[in-house]
């Protein structure tokens, strides 16, 4: 922790000129982690579309997407507030607005609060109360339970905290139906199983930085070899779970064909990573995992809207 404090002091000392410059809107967008929020919003919209056999009402699509997106952005901002000391010692995060001093902590806190309030107002007034409550619970789970406690308490942080990250398609589903549905929980299970191999691949690549920041990621606490094995095992679990939409009749043959190809490719990456012969493989696995999730949900949507293909047709 001393190293973290010293690095933070050094970064802040070198940022005095920046502190005298007003933050731009780009800085506030960066607080929201737009790439992460984009994937969250995409899976939430997919949940909306899959929940309806016809077109989703425009008001639900617009206000539901906006409300869920604002809540995700609020959670990302709180995450950066809490992680500010650690972000100063990690190469991939030290240029964020808070470590460099482009935005002060107080301003970031107010920004997060504003995003959260706007989200809850929109979801409660324009969508439904259940979606608002579940969105708030999801945001608190990520921004508080995971970021404040789990991330630094256990190397299983990603597994336990993954529940919050797996909620967006459920939120999208409830925005349309106003109720929970077993098919929505299948989407939750897919993202929940996807999260460990996705993040642990990145953690292997960044293990030295996580160790320096005092964050007990699995490759830091149990070694790279063990983390590789866990990635492979969770990828196998993910491939099995991803078949459930077809097995339960939620989707049809188009989805099955797509998910078999996507899963085989993920297993290929996980096996190459497990063998440990290529130092570039962790980031290749991480990069593919993002493509995998986006293409899987795209396949669900294509299958859903093809005539006679699966649930809701």
Of 116, 148, 180, which one is at a domain's C-terminal end? 180
284 and 226 in one domain?
yes
192 and 176 in one domain?
no
- Its domain, for residue 115, covers 1-180
**What's phi and psi for 311, nearest 5 deg?**
-60, 135
> pLDDT digit string (tens) for 261-292?
999 999 999 999 999 989 999 999 999 999 99
185 and 300 in one domain?
yes
How many domains is the chain partitioned into structurally? Answer: 2
Q: What's the pLDDT score for residue 23?
A: 86
Rounded CA-CA distance 63/86 in Å is: 35
Rounded to 10°, the helix 105-122/129-140 angle is: 160
307 and 206 in one domain?
yes
Predicted TM-score (pTM) of the model is 0.89
> pLDDT digit string (tens) for 230-243?
999 999 999 999 99
- Residue 54 burial by CB count (10 A; 0-12/13-18/19+): exposed, middle or buried? exposed
Rounded CA-CA distance 164/138 in Å is: 5
């Amino acid at each position: 922790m001393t190293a973290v404090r010293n690095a933070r002091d050094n970064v802040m000392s070198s940022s005095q000129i920046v502190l005298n410059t007003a933050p731009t809107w780009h800085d506030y967008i960066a607080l929201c982690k737009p790439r992460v929020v984009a994937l969250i919003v995409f899976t939430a919209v997919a949940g909306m579309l899959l929940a309806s056999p016809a077109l989703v009402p425009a008001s639900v699509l617009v206000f539901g997407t906006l409300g869920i997106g604002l809540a995700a952005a609020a959670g990302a901002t709180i995450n950066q507030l809490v992680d500010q000391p650690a972000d100063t010692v990690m190469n991939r995060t030290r240029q964020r607005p808070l470590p460099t001093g482009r935005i002060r902590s107080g301003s970031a806190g107010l920004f997060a609060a504003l995003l959260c309030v706007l989200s809850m107002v929109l979801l409660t007034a324009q969508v439904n109360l259940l979606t608002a409550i579940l969105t708030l619970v999801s945001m608190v789970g990520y921004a508080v339970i995971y970021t404040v406690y789990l991330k630094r308490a256990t190397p299983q942080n990603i597994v336990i905290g993954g529940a919050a990250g797996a909620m967006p398609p459920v939120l999208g589903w409830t925005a349309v139906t106003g109720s929970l549905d077993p098919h929505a929980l299948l989407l939750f299970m897919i993202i929940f199983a996807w999260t460990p191999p996705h993040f642990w691949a990145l953690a292997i690549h960044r293990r030295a930085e996580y160790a320096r920041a005092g964050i007990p990621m699995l490759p830091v606490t149990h070694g790279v070899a063990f983390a590789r094995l866990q990635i492979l095992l969770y990828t196998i679990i993910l491939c099995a779970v991803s078949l459930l939409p077809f097995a339960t009749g939620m989707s049809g043959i188009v989805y099955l064909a797509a998910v078999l190809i996507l899963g085989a490719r993920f297993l290929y990456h996980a096996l190459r990573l497990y063998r440990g012969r290529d130092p570039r493989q962790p980031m290749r696995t991480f990069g593919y995992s993002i493509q995998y999730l986006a293409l899987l949900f795209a396949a669900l949507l294509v299958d859903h809207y093809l005539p006679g293909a699966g649930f809701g047709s």
